[in-house]
Amino acid sequence: MAVGSRARGSKQASDQGERLSLADECYLALRKLIVHCDLAPGVRITEKELVARTEFGRTPVREALARLDLEGLVETLPRSGYRVTEVTPKTVRDLYDVFKLVGPLMVRRAAENFTEEHWQRLKKIVQSRNVHNDVDAIMDQSNAAFGLFAEASDNRDLIFLNKRLMSEQHRIFTLYLLTERGKEWSDAQLEFWNDLSWLRDPDTAEARISLGITTSYSGILSEISDQKAVTL
């Protein structure tokens, strides 16, 4: 079955309450293939291959690839197509350098602004995952929670940065969760999200997220430090 077909894209647009362009639908479909590692890090791809795989036309595929190039998820190879960017220790360190600054500040602002509506939405997000080591469920929960924190921060720059960072984080953590160390981290995450009392105080929230980010990325770097790049 092709991924990102027009029928699926139209349904997604309807669910969002707006109609997406073909270019937007194609972008979302290709982005999903990359962040879920269905298109593995380092793999070479061509427009022709993606047209056949997704059932989108060449123009939407080309426009989507240009956006993904800007996001750093693919790189353009002159006269030879594209390549999904590799995941290397430097990739992880670069992402950590940014997120260790953005994440704690964003959560602090969220804690300062959280309303009862935010609390109810967060509780639903936390309750959405009850299966250990389900990679998609773990990442969906994390993305939804941090998306809510970004929204509650009421800072458009933090919202933009969080959205920009989530794609690469999703891909890195998908790879990490396939390892034994990553599975142990996943179990610890259940406990982390089941007790949300830390979010009621901005200082505690900032410190808790800062520690969580440092611990997570330390584990990831330890897992790939002896490899030049991570591939599936």
Beta bridge partners of 77: 81
Q: What is the mean pLDDT of residues 49-68?
A: 94
Is 108 found in the same domain as 175? Answer: yes
Q: Is the pLDDT of residue 161 over 70?
A: yes
Contact in structure between 29 and 61 (CB atoms under 8 Å): no
Give the confidence band of 131 by pLDDT, cuts at 50, 70, 90. low
For residue 17, the model assigns a pLDDT of 45
Instruction: Count up the domains in the chain and report the number.
Output: 2
For residue 230, the model assigns a pLDDT of 47
Is 70 found in the same domain as 93? Answer: no
Is 129 found in the same domain as 206? Answer: yes
Helix runs in 76-179, H state only:
89-113, 116-127, 135-153, 156-176
User: DSSP per residue over 6-40, as a string?
Assistant: HHHHHHHHHHTTSPPPHHHHHHHHHHHHHHTTSS-
Which DSSP letter does residue 86 get? P
Is 216 found in the same domain as 150? Answer: yes
Whole-prediction pTM value?
Answer: 0.78
Is 134 found in the same domain as 25? Answer: no
For residue 76, the model assigns a pLDDT of 94
Please check whether residue 80 lies inside any domain of the structure. Answer: yes
Is 122 found in the same domain as 26? Answer: no
For residue 133, the model assigns a pLDDT of 59
Amino acid at 146: F
Is 66 found in the same domain as 145? Answer: no
For residue 13, the model assigns a pLDDT of 44
Q: Is the pLDDT of residue 122 over 50?
A: yes
Please check whether residue 56 lies inside any domain of the structure. Answer: yes
Give the confidence band of 191 by pLDDT, cuts at 50, 70, 90. confident
Give the confidence band of 79 by pLDDT, cuts at 50, 70, 90. confident
Is 174 found in the same domain as 80? Answer: no
Lowest mean pLDDT among 30-39, 58-67, 131-140, 146-155: 131-140
Please check whether residue 128 lies inside any domain of the structure. Answer: yes
Residue 74: which residues within 8 A CB-CB, separation 6 or more? Answer: 34, 45, 65, 68, 82, 83, 84, 85
Indicate which CATH number applies to the domain containing 164: 1.20.120.530
Is 203 found in the same domain as 96? Answer: yes
Tell which of 84, 106, 122 closes a domain: 84
Indicate which CATH number applies to the domain containing 52: 1.10.10.10
For residue 130, the model assigns a pLDDT of 59
Contacts 24+ apart (CB under 8 A), 44-52: 44/77, 44/80, 44/81, 44/82, 44/83, 45/74, 45/81, 45/82, 45/83, 45/84, 46/81, 46/82, 47/81, 47/82
Taking the CB of residue 121, how many other CB atoms lie within 10 A of it?
17
Please check whether residue 155 lies inside any domain of the structure. Answer: yes
**Side-chain half-sphere of 134: how many Cα atoms within 13 Å?**
12
The whole domain housing 98 covers 89-224
Mean pLDDT of the chain: 85
- Only one residue has tokens 């953005």, namely 102
% of the chain beyond a pLDDT of 70: 87
Let me know if 16 is exposed, middle or buried by CB neighbors in 10 A (0-12, 13-18, 19+). Answer: exposed
Is 179 found in the same domain as 105? Answer: yes
Beta bridge partners of 5: none
